[in-house]
Structure 1
Amino acid sequence: MRLRSLTVTVPVLFLAACASPSAPAGGAEARSPYGLFLAGQAALNDGESRQAADYFERATRSDETPGLISERAFTAAVLSGEIEKAAAMAPVGDEASEGAKRLGRLVLAVDALAAGRGDAAYRLLTSEEIGFPHRTAAALLTPWAAAQAGDMDLATRRPDVPGDKLVEYFGMLGQAHQYERVRRYDEAETDFKALTEGPDAPPMLVLAYGEFLERRGRRTDAVALYDRALATYRRDVALSLARERALARRAAPPAPSVRQGAAQAILTPAAAMLAARQSQFALAYVRLALRLDPERMDAWMMVGDLMGAAGDVEAARSAYGRVPKDHPDYAAAQSKLAWSLQGAGDIDAALDTAARAAEGGDPTALLTLADLLRSNERYEAAIAPLNQLVESSPEPDWRLLFARGAAYERMGDWPRAEADLQAALALNPDEPDILNYLAYGWIDRGERLEEALAMVQAAVDANPRSGAMIDSLGWGYYRLGQYEKAVEILEEAVGLEAGDPEINNHLGDAYWQVGRRDEAVFQWRRVLTLEPDAKIRADAEAKLASGVGPGAAGAAAQAAAEPAPSTIAR
């Protein structure tokens, strides 16, 4: 998915005004302001914000340059992370659009904070001119600007934007940090406690409170807090590492600096913008956070996600690569990098990246490695990381058992597959995917047919538009010898999944059994055009070559009934 908000519709009259009527033929137009603008716009629409920034900047050097090109240059500089350059070209004056000027003021404020000019940042952030949609970001940043300017009375005031729950909630986090900075520890703890009440408190807030407790020498309280959170977020790496640190009585992380606190503050509205699918603003805010704190790894992860969604694969990979090995987000970053390589068709590099990340036993990395191996049909190799995950899980996890059972089934080891699938079903009896997978295994082997058919029917009832599940149901009726019923259901499955070779193969078999031989041959021939796996291809080719229909029973019935029709031959 591209960053659709980056796509700009440029009025025809503006393009005409931009064009250089004297530009010579033969491609020289690309060096005119008009050509550079178009090149920059194309790069921006493709998510290549750094390249776009270069084109726009070159366009602005011309005396012919209209104001809109300057705005595009500013936007591209922000999105590519060149915040100092963006601050130098922040739109001002009556000719600039109001939206660009508001973002420009926020950029100027952040750049001032990053440069240690808290007074200037505070004046910009408290100006009414910032306005919508940047009020939330400005409100959360304001106390940090006040702190940098040395006014701790203003810094410890909780920001207030009427009706803005984000400011109300995360403004309390900022206030807690500011109270700690001025050694008003009781008031800081009151805020931290309010933010982390209940078992579902977000891990980032639990970590903030826990680190505060560790800094106060209250490691036992910190461990209890981490334990409570880990009961809900069992696989959270950062929480687990914090618990280990507190138990080992190692030094607690220092309280956030002004720049670090401001970076965290602006990431909050960035996440809200991302959730609201305002990708351009989300990326702009994350870039601003990195201007304040370039070592903020969760921000680099967000850059990777946003640039990947925009289609700039290289920028995404570069962002994920910024996360160092000793960081809690390293495994997640490497997992995203591996899937990026997989998506680009570089299978060996994807698997190598995933394998290196999994060497430390991180659950996220192990799961990525297993999923990549299964995606590339390397089922036997996938068993080892899946075994590690199953054995290290604090309690049985049906998803892991299901994944391992599916890998065993694809390897041809049905006894182990059946055991894992039954164990997964015992943990989650109503899960349609398990019901369908286990039941189909029985159906395909002619075992426990009545029980299997009931299981598949339950799966279909839960997912009535699943061609794969409807195929399992039709194949169950086929195995029971109810061929007319099987044809009816398998035709529905093909209608939903027309390109699935296995479903088409099944329908061909069902057509054959009800005497619709020409249609059966058509289906088997169609199977060979749908990139079937080796087993399905061999089955379809054998039926077409032999002329005796599906299976030994079908062959015997056909031999007794009539000569093989010539239409079977290729």
Structure 2
Amino acid sequence: MTRLKVLLACVSVSALAACASGPAQVSMRGPVGQNYSLFDTRTSYGQFLAGQAALRDGNSKEAATYFGTAAVLGEDPGVIAERSFTALLLSGEISRAAAAAPTEAGGTEAIRRLGVLTRVVEALALGKGKEAQALLKSDPPGFPHQQAVALLGPWAAAAAGDKEGAIVQPVLRNDKLVQYFGQQGQARLFERAKRYDEAETDYKALTSNAATASIFTLDYGAFLERRKRYDDALALYDAALRAAPNDTGLLRARARAAARSAPPSAPTLRQGAAEGLIACAATFAGERQNQFALAYLRLALRLDPGRDEAWILVGDLLNQGDDHQAAIEAYGRVPAGAPLYASAQSKIAWAWSALGDKTKALDVARAALTAAPNDRDAAVALADLLRASSRWDESVAVLDLLLAREAEAPDWRLLYMRAIALEQGGRWPEAEKDLQTALKVNPDEPDLLNFLGYSWIDRNERLPEALAMVEKAVAARPQSGAMMDSLGWAYFRLGDYKTAIEKLEAAVELEPGDPDINGHLGDAYWKAGRTIEARFQWQRVLSLEPTDKQKADSEDKLKNGLGLSTPATKSTIAHN
């Protein structure tokens, strides 16, 4: 597992308020002078509205252009200045954002605080450590930036030449992130001051803690390698690999230490400060505060533009905001040959898929796997894209190779993925075997229980056992419409139409737009003699963008009703 994955899995903070929002609900884009029917973009207010729409849609660069034009045209300068600053920050134009940061009282306090943090980062980026330290002391940004202020403080002190301030471990009450990353920063600054024993004490504390060992092992190992303590580094990596034998980062580090190759350099002041901001960004992302997360990542990249994991996180956030083209650009900043290159290229492939270009997506995914044939993530991404393109056998072939490499300890997720491709490709006996193997590895996994249970129900096989399995799945995920549908369909197969209707109605409430579930409810209504309601549900299926098969099945039922020999509709598989 990469540091990026561990970081995202381990850090969490309470929900934070969004830094900026706007009332405009108009989604309009275009250069100055285009003729829009809802507003005139030639006016300052029109530019402002266009900027608001672009910002809300995740198009930060476009928004910054609109807001800049609005400011020149000269109406409502305070609000426009705040929105312009936000757009510049989110688009990564940190120098311009720092210059535009609101500094006077009377504006939005949240934006002013973010502006102070931006100015601190810009000062650090320009090597103005005393200015950065002075800003943090004289005008420290308050909520929700306390973590960033605490983590940046020692690095700003070091940049200002304050040797004592640089080695003070930051503390924030009841804050584990500041505790752990503050101690990591202290270790690095101790090393920078050639106080190696104290640095190692910090690293040992971090790597002996089960909650943080996986995050900081590579840092401690690199420290040992820089001290030419290769055997100690190898012992550290070997211990970590026993817990995570497929961790590519650990494997690379171990190979480097074994070869006595040059270790990673100690981080610069800018790089050390950037890492704290990335950790804060991960907490925001984990709490779905995506604007803050993106802003912090942009600040981190101003300090350390070569930080690949930060570019990947930026791409992920842009993808979530449906700005797939900008996400592709962010992922593309990870250079060929970098440890995260294959992962970044795989994410580019998914972004192309989201843009509707499946051919391009598959070409990129194949190239990513070719560039890193042993990269697990690249193989998984290609297999999943092939499956999404209904190329079942090709997806299975990729997963076959991957599972063969992990035969001694198969990952249930890979078995699940292969089972889906096998089932959709008409190879049910093989899919059934994979599902049963996966359940031996993870017997309580709701997705596995639902898929295998429903598949047996669909085939009228092992109904009591299948019913128990989907009941267990629903108990684990009662808000899953697909799993509730499986339970209703089990009762349908058992002839208990009253209970089937109860469960299927609940499933439709949970997933009102699912054609399969609506069709199942129609079938249950028909069997219970409620033919008008049945026809309504079948008619509704036709309005829900059904597949060709779903459409044909519903049209046939509307014409002929539901005969005793009518087969069940296609399997409903719950996906996370």
1:384 to 391, 397, 412: 397
Are 2:431 and 1:417 equivalent residues in the alignment? yes
Output aligned runs, 1:359-508, within 5 Å: 359=370, 360-393=373-406, 395-480=409-494, 493=507, 497=511, 499-503=513-517, 506=520
Aligned length: 538
1:77 to 88, 111, 133: 88
Give deviations 1:449-504, integer Å, cap 9, x for gaps: 44334434443444455444444445445555666765665566556555544455
Partner Cα distance (1:100, 1:75) in 2: 8
Partner Cα distance (2:287, 2:566) in 1: 58
Aligned residue type for 1:409: E
Aligned to 1:307: 318
Partner Cα distance (1:549, 1:213) in 2: 73
Output aligned runs, 1:43-54, within 5 Å: 43-54=54-65
Partner Cα distance (2:144, 2:116) in 1: 12
SS in structure 1 of the partner of residue 448 of structure 2? helix
Partner Cα distance (2:545, 2:80) in 1: 49
Closer/same/farther in 2, CA of residues 382 and 153 from structure 1, 3 Å limit: same
Are 2:44 and 1:30 equivalent residues in the alignment? no
SS in structure 2 of the partner of residue 551 of structure 1? coil
Aligned to 1:159: 170
1:291 to 282, 286, 302: 302
Q: Which moved more, 1:84-93 or 1:294-303?
A: 84-93
CA contact (8 A) 1:199 1:228 kept: no
Closer/same/farther in 2, CA of residues 368 and 553 from structure 1, 3 Å limit: closer
What displacement does 1:41 show? 2.9
CA contact (8 A) 2:324 2:354 kept: no
Closer/same/farther in 2, CA of residues 354 and 4 from structure 1, 3 Å limit: farther
Aligned to 2:4: none
Output aligned runs, 1:108-507, within 5 Å: 108-161=119-172, 164-201=175-212, 203-359=214-370, 360-393=373-406, 395-480=409-494, 493=507, 497=511, 499-503=513-517, 506=520
Q: Which moved more, 1:466-475 or 1:507-516?
A: 507-516
Aligned to 2:572: none
Give deviations 1:503-561, integer Å, cap 9, x for gaps: 5555565566666677666666665665555555666666677789242999xxxxxxx
What displacement does 1:238 show? 2.1
Partner Cα distance (1:43, 1:330) in 2: 30
Give deviations 1:56-115, integer Å, cap 9, x for gaps: 333334576633333332332222211222233333345655544433333222222212
CA contact (8 A) 2:44 2:74 kept: no
Q: Which moved more, 1:57-66 or 1:210-219?
A: 57-66
What displacement does 1:413 show? 1.4
Q: Which moved more, 1:181-190 or 1:75-84?
A: 75-84
Aligned residue type for 1:258: L
SS in structure 1 of the partner of residue 264 of structure 2? coil
Closer/same/farther in 2, CA of residues 176 and 29 from structure 1, 3 Å limit: same
Aligned residue type for 1:364: D
Closer/same/farther in 2, CA of residues 531 and 76 from structure 1, 3 Å limit: closer
Aligned residue type for 1:361: N
Closer/same/farther in 2, CA of residues 128 and 451 from structure 1, 3 Å limit: closer
Partner Cα distance (1:96, 1:465) in 2: 42
Partner Cα distance (1:317, 1:45) in 2: 19
Larger Rg: 1
CA contact (8 A) 1:200 1:232 kept: no
Closer/same/farther in 2, CA of residues 274 and 546 from structure 1, 3 Å limit: closer
Aligned residue type for 1:448: R
What displacement does 1:312 show? 2.9
Closer/same/farther in 2, CA of residues 127 and 449 from structure 1, 3 Å limit: same
What displacement does 1:206 show? 1.5
CA contact (8 A) 2:331 2:344 kept: yes
CA contact (8 A) 2:230 2:258 kept: yes
CA contact (8 A) 1:6 1:45 kept: no
SS in structure 2 of the partner of residue 364 of structure 1? helix
Partner Cα distance (2:480, 2:228) in 1: 56
Partner Cα distance (1:124, 1:153) in 2: 18
CA contact (8 A) 1:468 1:503 kept: yes
What displacement does 1:256 show? 0.5
Give deviations 1:20-79, integer Å, cap 9, x for gaps: xxxxx9999634444433333333233222222223333334576633333332332222
Aligned residue type for 1:439: G
Partner Cα distance (2:109, 2:566) in 1: 77
CA contact (8 A) 2:19 2:111 kept: no
2:68 to 57, 62, 73: 57
SS in structure 2 of the partner of residue 371 of structure 1? helix
What displacement does 1:128 show? 3.9
- Aligned-pair Cα RMSD in Å: 3.5
SS in structure 2 of the partner of residue 30 of structure 1? coil
Q: Which moved more, 1:530-539 or 1:432-441?
A: 530-539
Unaligned runs of 5+ in 2: 1-16, 25-35, 569-576
Aligned to 1:560: none
CA contact (8 A) 1:78 1:284 kept: yes
